[in-house]
Amino acid sequence: MSTTIEQAIARIPSWGRASSLTVTPLSGGITNFNYRVDVDGEAFVVRIAARDAELLGIDRQREYRCALAASRAGVAPEVVHFLPDEGIMVTRFVPGRPLSRAEMAQPDVMGRVVQSMRRYHSGAAFEGSFSPFKTIEEYLGVARLKGAPLPHDIDRMHTGIREIEAALRRAQTTIRPCHNDLWGPNLIDDGGQVRIVDWEYAGMGDIYFDLANYAMHCEASDVQAEALLRTYFGEVPDSGLARVRLLRIVADLRDALWYMVGLHVVSDTTDFVRYAATHFKRCRQAISDSRLSLWLDAAARGA
């Protein structure tokens, strides 16, 4: 870690004059080190970025601007300080707790998440763009360059992703501000609202990828995926379920390759190969599903 929490605190204006300051490490960060810092009765989160995060496609300046926009939309915590050279971001601490996988699939929780998604999807434009397909190409290139333990059938999975990309290219895509990393630790629920943190992969993108990424992380059944679409749109749109099914495959391969690249970025990679294997397995199974051609046709036709 290039910067310690003590060094980070010393760089924050006014904190040096605080009459009381306490630090509590927070769990959950993978590419970051997170701390709760209580300063004169106010609570903040100090996040210190890990080195070499650019290998994972993280642009800290873009993340900062997206987090600002999401904060102004009332979805993300307020950004208080940003020190790009040190990789330090300070936000207000928001009460609540991260969602578990099971909780993410519960109708009431899903409703709160969708409410937050709608707010930033319809908010001010984010800086930059995000494509899961481009991300997969970049991660795969880095993973091969670094000699990551890729599965023997990675080329077959990659070909399947390219077929999905071609089908979706023929369909109309709604480009909006997107988070693109909607898993439980990034979703802080206080029982009334879900606030979203870690906007590292945010950018202008396909809202269906946000929905599919969420569905992938909560392992939603088809019934639950339909409920997610109905909650978001008020109905299940034509081709909507097919798009979610296809983009879940993409999300699985993106996450699998994230772990392959992460082996060369993150200090504690104890479970990365196992996590990647789970995502590779789901991607492999979905690409082999006999219904894949039907999903591709439905997504391409918008029917």
Share of the chain above pLDDT 70, in %: 99
**Judging by beta carbons within 10 Å of its beta carbon (0-12, 13-18, 19+), is residue 269 exposed, middle or buried?**
middle
Centre a 10 Å sphere on the Cβ of residue 218 and count the other Cβ atoms it contains. 25
Q: Which of 131, 144, 169, 154 has the alpha carbon at shortest distance from 253? A: 154
Per-residue pLDDT, 1: 47
CA distances from 281 to 92, 213, 273 (A): 38, 16, 12
Centre a 10 Å sphere on the Cβ of residue 190 and count the other Cβ atoms it contains. 12
SS3 category, 143: helix
Per-residue pLDDT, 104: 97
- Domains of the chain and CATH, by start: 5-94 (3.30.200.20), 98-301 (3.90.1200.10)
User: pLDDT digits over 213-269, tens only?
Assistant: 999 999 999 999 999 999 999 999 889 999 999 999 999 999 999 999 999 888 778
Phi, psi (degrees; rounded to nearest 5) at 64: -60, -45
Per-residue pLDDT, 294: 95
- Tell me the C-alpha distance between 63 and 186, whole Å: 14
For 158-209, the DSSP string reads HHHHHHHHHHHHTS---EEEE-----GGGEEE-SS-EEE---TT-EEEEHHH
Extract the tokens encoding 114: 């969708």
User: pLDDT digits over 162-183, tens only?
Assistant: 999 999 999 888 899 999 999 9
Helices 207-217 and 107-121 cross at an angle (nearest 10°) of: 150
- Tell me the C-alpha distance between 40 and 38, whole Å: 7
Per-residue pLDDT, 31: 75
Confidence tier at 2 by pLDDT (50, 70, 90): low
Q: Which residue has the higher pLDDT, 49 or 22?
A: 22
Residue type for position 211 = L
Chain mean pLDDT for the chain: 94
Whether residue 30 is predicted with pLDDT greater than 70 in this model: the reply is: yes
